[in-house]
Structure 1
């Protein structure tokens, strides 16, 4: 097995979701429900996150992903349809 499932206490801690689709949305909701403070990095404007508008645990960042987005994060989720971006997230 290449990866090991783990349990993390993310309550009050920064998590980053990179992506703008349904999978990114589901992952963001899951992290918020676990108490995480979630930055969603999406390279384009999308209505998928409009319901999060003023949510205190979520920040929507409409920029292309860069390594600075992960500063201070305890967890990052790559949820794009771009294998190059997903690989970049996983290597940091």
Structure 2
């Protein structure tokens, strides 16, 4: 289940190819995605849109970190990496 996230896929569009993953803006990485909510005045506040490309990027990053940690643990325990 952790290999698909590494695949770079593009989808043809009228204007340009659409990638399957793109890095979220630094501001979003620093603060996280804001949710949609009703404020204290009863107004609907629309949160940040989370695209499939952002989710794929985040999942890919998490899988990479998971594999790095798993491999480090295996080395520390005397096992083979991989």
TM class, shorter-chain normalised?
under 0.3
Greater gyration radius: 2
Structure with a larger share of its residues in helix = 2
TM-score where L is the length of structure 1? 0.20
Judging by fraction of residues, say which structure has more strand.
1
**Greater length-normalized contact order (CA 8 Å, ≥ 6 residues apart):** 1
TM-score computed with the length of structure 2 as normaliser: 0.22
